[in-house]
C-alpha cells in the first residue's frame, strides 16, 4: 500500500480535477448563456434549468470521475469526497488518522481546482459562472434541498459499496459505473440543488468565490451540502451492510 502522504496527494489531485472539470462545466454554461442573452441575475448554477444543461454537466462529472478512479484509484481508492471517507470511517473500514488526512487533502484539492479554473477562464468564471458553486433553485427550501442531497448521495454510496468496496464485486467496472451514477443523479436533481453529493465539490467553488469576489454562497445554504451528502452516505453504508449481511 502506498504511504499516507502519497495517498493524500492522490486524493488532492483527484478532487482538484473533479472540481476543475465538473463545476467548471457548470460555470462555462453560465458564461455561454450570459454571452448570448446578457448577464444573468443569479450567479450560481441555480440559474440553470434545462434538462440539456444538466445532462451536459452530468456528463462532465461522469467522465472526470471515471478518469480519476481508473487513474488514481489503485493508489488511494479515489474517495475524492469527504462524505465517502466519513462513511467508510464510520463503518470501520478506514482508520481515523487516514480519514483526517484524506478530508484535508480533498478540501485543499477542491479549492485548488476552483482557483485553477479561474486562472484558465478569467474573471467571468467568478462573476458570471460563480465557479460552478452549488445553490438551491428558486422555490427549493432548505429541507427539500437536504432531502434531495441525502437521497442522491445515498444512491451514490450504495453503488460505491456494491461495485468498489464489496470484495465480491466484478473487477474493472467500478470507475465506469460510479461515474455514470453521478452523471445520472446530477441530471435528475441538479435543477433542484446543483447536485453536489460531495462537501468538497461545494467547498472549493464557495471558498474560491469568497476569495475572488464572486457570489457569497457560504451563508445559509452551504450547510445543505455538508449535511445532505454526509447523512446520505452514512445511511447507505449501514443499509448496505444490513442488507447484504449473511445469516
Indicate which CATH number applies to the domain containing 191. 1.20.1080.10
- Distance, in Å, from the CA atom of 186 to the CA atom of 115, rounded to the nearest integer, reads 23
The pLDDT assigned to 247 comes to 43
- Distance, in Å, from the CA atom of 15 to the CA atom of 51, rounded to the nearest integer, reads 26
Region of 172 (left: φ > 0; alpha: ψ -120 to 50; beta: rest) is: left
Rounded to two decimals, the pTM is: 0.93
**Residue whose grid cell is 488511494:** 76
Inform me whether the pLDDT recorded for 159 exceeds 60.
yes
In Å, how far from its chain's centre is CA 61?
Answer: 8
Note the pLDDT tens digit of each residue in 84-106.
999 999 999 999 999 999 999 99
Inform me whether the pLDDT recorded for 47 exceeds 80.
no
Contact between 32 and 52 (Cβ < 8 Å): no
- 82 closest CA partner among 58, 63, 62, 108: 108
The pLDDT assigned to 211 comes to 95
Percent of the chain with pLDDT over 70: 93
Residue range(s) defining the domain that contains residue 194: 4-244
Count of helix runs (H) and strand runs (E) in the chain? 9, 0
Inform me whether the pLDDT recorded for 48 exceeds 70.
no
Question: In which band, very low, low, confident or very high, does the pLDDT at 39 lie, cut at 50, 70 and 90?
Answer: low
**Residue whose grid cell is 462555462:** 28
Note the pLDDT tens digit of each residue in 90-148.
999 999 999 999 999 999 999 999 999 999 999 999 999 999 999 999 899 999 999 99
Question: In which band, very low, low, confident or very high, does the pLDDT at 151 lie, cut at 50, 70 and 90?
Answer: very high
Question: In which band, very low, low, confident or very high, does the pLDDT at 1 lie, cut at 50, 70 and 90?
Answer: confident
The pLDDT assigned to 34 comes to 77
Q: How many domains does the chain have?
A: 1
Note the pLDDT tens digit of each residue in 185-218.
999 999 999 999 999 999 999 999 999 988 877 7
Beta strands per DSSP E along the chain: none
Amino acid at each position: 500500500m502506498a504511504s499516507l502522504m502519497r495517498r493524500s496527494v492522490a486524493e488532492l489531485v483527484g478532487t482538484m480535477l473533479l472540481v476543475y472539470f465538473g463545476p467548471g462545466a457548470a460555470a462555462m454554461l453560465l458564461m455561454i448563456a450570459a454571452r448570448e442573452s446578457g448577464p444573468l441575475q443569479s450567479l450560481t448554477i441555480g440559474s440553470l434549468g434545462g434538462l440539456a444543461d444538466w445532462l451536459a454537466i452530468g456528463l462532465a462529472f461522469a467522465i472526470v470521475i471515471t478518469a480519476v478512479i481508473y487513474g488514481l484509484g489503485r493508489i488511494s481508492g479515489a474517495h475524492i469526497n469527504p462524505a465517502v471517507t466519513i462513511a467508510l470511517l464510520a463503518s470501520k473500514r478506514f482508520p481515523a488518522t487516514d480519514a483526517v488526512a484524506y478530508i484535508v487533502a480533498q478540501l485543499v484539492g477542491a479549492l485548488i481546482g476552483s482557483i485553477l479554473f479561474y486562472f484558465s477562464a478569467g474573471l467571468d468564471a467568478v462573476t458570471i459562472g460563480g465557479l460552478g458553486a452549488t445553490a438551491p433553485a428558486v422555490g427549493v427550501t432548505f429541507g427539500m434541498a437536504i432531502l434531495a442531497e441525502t437521497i442522491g448521495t445515498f444512491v451514490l454510496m450504495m453503488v460505491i459499496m456494491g461495485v468498489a468496496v464489496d470484495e465480491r464485486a466484478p473487477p474493472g467496472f467500478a470507475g465506469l459505473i460510479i461515474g455514470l451514477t453521478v452523471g445520472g443523479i446530477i441530471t435528475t436533481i441538479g435543477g433542484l440543488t446543483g447536485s453536489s453529493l460531495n462537501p468538497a465539490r461545494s467547498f472549493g467553488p464557495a471558498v474560491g468565490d469568497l476569495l475572488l469576489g464572486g457570489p457569497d454562497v457560504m451563508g445559509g445554504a452551504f450547510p445543505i451540502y455538508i449535511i445532505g451528502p454526509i447523512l446520505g452516505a452514512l445511511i447507505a453504508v449501514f443499509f448496505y451492510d444490513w442488507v447484504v449481511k449473511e445469516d
